[in-house]
Structure 1
Amino acid sequence: MRTSMNATELLIWSRLRGRKVDGWKFRRQQPIGPYFVDFYCPAAKLIVEIDGPAHQGDATWAYDLRRQAWLETEGHRMLRISVSQISRDLNEVIETIYVVLLEQEKRGFFRRPHPPAPPATSPRAAKS
């Protein structure tokens, strides 16, 4: 597990955290079995992996494929997104994640999470 995120991961995390994608909760650096995944939505069993330069090379690619096969065997769906996709159009990447969440919902693999709670108001604000 890494304790810090690179710039691309920070960018996408800023858009996933706090249930910003239609109320879906994501976790970062989530352990699943013997692996850690970049981002995980437990309700949808959706893994979002960011593929950058570290994922290039035959040995790394073979490891990634074995890892993905194991995670999918456990019932998870993996969405791989390249650093270049995020740099090119972050909004399109978030839209793609949202579409996959809707596909997972249609498959019925999970229960729909509650939408985010409205911001709390103080009793004083309600009296005004």
Structure 2
Amino acid sequence: MKRPIIPYNPRLKQRARELRNNSTLSEVILWNHLKGKQMLGFDFHRQRPVGNYLVDFICSELYLVIELDGYTHLLDEQGERDELREKQLKAFGLHTIRFWDEEVYNEIDNVLRVIEATVIKQKKQLGL
């Protein structure tokens, strides 16, 4: 079964590069556990354009997005934007999991367990 290509806006590539070069602490911490196929042999990328959005981490093979949320996501209008974004990512066939920055700082082992369980689930669902 051929899976669809995940579309992206090429105009976001420069902004993605800027974000990769100016990562938040939580992104750096999580990236150190995902890079180099450390998560069950799957290749993750950080700050990648998907549609008209930039996602924190993505494993295209698994159609899996990982988002890290800081305090700005507590604002009312940000919550609405996150919902719209979530719907768009879902329309592309992507599964998204979210963590708070504080979870990454204080509970990285639990965060990694959730990611690992999700990777296994996605792998089964996609027949990989």
Per the alignment, residue 121 of structure 1 pairs with none
Name structure 1 gaps, 5 residues minimum: 113-128
Q: 2:62 pairs with 35, 40, 44, which one?
A: 44
The count of aligned residue pairs is: 110
Which residue of structure 1 lines up, in the alignment, with residue 33 of structure 2? Answer: 15
Q: When the two structures are superposed, what TM-score results if normalisation uses the length of structure 2? A: 0.82
Structure 2 counterpart of 1:126: none
Letter in 2 for 1:12: L
| Counterparts of 1:34 and 1:77, CA distance in 2 | 17
Once residues 106 and 23 of structure 1 are traced to their aligned partners in structure 2, the CA distance between those partners, rounded to angstroms, is 15
Please give the alpha-carbon distance, in whole angstroms, between the structure 2 residues aligned to 1:101 and 1:22: 8
Looking at structure 2, the residues matched to 6 and 56 of structure 1 have their Cα atoms a distance apart, in angstroms, of 17
- Counterpart of 2:5? none
Q: Which has the larger radius of gyration?
A: 1
Percent identity over the alignment? Answer: 27
Match of 2:45 among 19, 23, 27: 27
Residue 105 of structure 1, CA deviation: 1.2
1:54: how far off? 2.0
**Misfit runs of 4+, over 4 Å:** none
Q: Which amino acid aligns with 1:45?
A: Y
Q: 2:77 aligns with which of 59, 76, 90?
A: 59
Q: Normalising by structure 1, what TM-score?
A: 0.82
Q: Which moved more, 1:82-91 or 1:96-105?
A: 82-91
Unaligned stretches of 5+ residues in structure 2: 1-14
C-alpha root-mean-square deviation of aligned residues, in Å? 1.1
